[in-house]
Structure 1
């Protein structure tokens, strides 16, 4: 086990390195921030030592360092070459950021790593570790055919590949890939709006991930054996539907905004494909919780007033957030 002081140090370094990327206006400084982030996140994986963690940390290091090498080569070429190839370099930098985030076609390491790690590091990998690459991606993104193809591939891969697995960690990984496609669409239409998407997605992922951690759920069939009260079941149901992007839950709000921007940009074909893939993700979330809600619902008590349960608060947050945003828009 790692000492708490060491873990705290690496955690602060991971947070600070991402903030360094967000506050830099030079690509070289951003590269340094990404390298610090990589080297400080790897020790955080070692919560309990086993062979899987060694394998996944090596996998993470190789993929991230390969992407970093490509990034620094592009930066140096831009600094020291006299030929103007900035557009071609931008496309390669975009591909390196996709490698870092685990987006298709460079996504195979991401679900494999997720299935070998603890839930706490999984949550961090799905949320905070995506902020810095996504920020760089939003700066260099162009509305060209390559970007459209990447969005389409991400949403389709995240939806269809998630159907093949029973591991909840792999399903969450493919759901994250699907959300990355939506986030890219949001960033390409409005360069700042992806931040709101990322915040909402992170909030939903953290809440759902903490539930998985609390009950140690690794596979979908474990939902049948859970000793939950009805309130907790309802909270999990709401969070799952929210992650799938079903109205009127919180997860639909950022997708709704992205849909509006895409309609204004006349991207109807891309929007149709992304919306259909979003329905498939909703299907595998429903498949995960249908047995828990339908078969195991013996209790007639709802116990919404138990203030000690954090799950009740999570339910309220999920339910009230869309209403608050709609009210703010009308004010």
Structure 2
């Protein structure tokens, strides 16, 4: 995405909207921040004026507008309804925020919108756009049947939805839905755990999406990168395994902490479902890399590769950083 004055203005407005939303002391102020964030992101989505981007921005606007109406309605109902019926309004408020961030079962718009965007906007949609709804949802989040159902739906839909995808952007969208379940669990345990998970998730997403963007990779059929060297392929392989949460890489660290806390709280069935579905997500991450390494013997050994080797080494070292961290945690 090419940055100019208008792009920087919209980006500043996007960040400001989220900051207003999470720092507001009233629900109306939070709603205003979310709307400011929404109206700043739509021009960024349709920057290149392609039909796919216009379709994605229209889908995003309609869904976010519906979620905003639900959010406003729930705020009014909380003030108007008796205390006995107040929790129904809270469910409506939570559902509106879940729809805004694309969590299952209100995820229907998320893969379609991701498919129409470039990688920079995909990164913003998967990371920054979730901060506001997540912080607001944390005010109403507790270990209830509703929350546990949403968590299980997120990890199951994120795992099964990515199995038959040939588009890498849709695959990353379902991966994001799966991670939402883990992040919601982290938020219910502790705000600090959610912050740790979210930061590691952002770093790993930036690593993976940087390689996808540099290689112009959008479909699984393109994933053999016949014009790139082994180092880039291995970097992507390690980063995606880390994003999937395979030990001993960095992505496993927050999941290990969450599993430990859930086991101490005797949520054994929830842990079992989350771990099993994570294995399925690891399977479709491996699908991306399968054809990549199958075509190694067809590459030209005399190509003059002009790649950013320092950046690739940094990306790989981020994922491998988890090995000493996990070793230190295991002996403490």
Render the CA deviation track for 1:266-325: whole Å, top value 9, x for unaligned: 100011011000000000001110221243156899xxxx98431111111211245247
* TM-score normalised per structure 2: 0.92
For 1:286, the equivalent position in structure 2 comes to 286
Counterpart Cα distance in 2 of 1:322 and 1:101: 31
Q: Work out whether 1:313 is the aligned partner of 2:314.
A: yes
CA drift of 1:7 comes to 0.5
C-alpha RMSD of the superposition: 2.2
CA drift of 1:32 comes to 0.9
For 1:158, the equivalent position in structure 2 comes to 158
Counterpart Cα distance in 2 of 1:279 and 1:300: 35
The answer to whether the 8 Å contact 2:211/2:232 transfers is no
The answer to whether the 8 Å contact 2:249/2:320 transfers is yes
For 1:106, the equivalent position in structure 2 comes to 106
Counterpart Cα distance in 1 of 2:136 and 2:227: 44
Counterpart Cα distance in 1 of 2:254 and 2:309: 30
Instruction: Spell out the pairing of 1:20-59 with structure 2 (5 A cutoff).
Output: 20-59=20-59
* TM-score normalised per structure 1: 0.93
Unaligned runs of at least 5 residues, structure 2: none
Counterpart Cα distance in 2 of 1:293 and 1:138: 42
Distance 1:253 1:64, change over 3 A: same
The answer to whether the 8 Å contact 1:185/1:258 transfers is yes
For 2:247, the equivalent position in structure 1 comes to 247
The answer to whether the 8 Å contact 1:230/1:299 transfers is no
Render the CA deviation track for 1:115-167: whole Å, top value 9, x for unaligned: 11111101110010011111111221121111111111110000011001110
For 2:270, the equivalent position in structure 1 comes to 270
Distance 1:324 1:96, change over 3 A: same
Distance 1:43 1:163, change over 3 A: same
Paired residues, number: 327
The answer to whether the 8 Å contact 1:253/1:322 transfers is no
Unaligned runs of at least 5 residues, structure 1: none
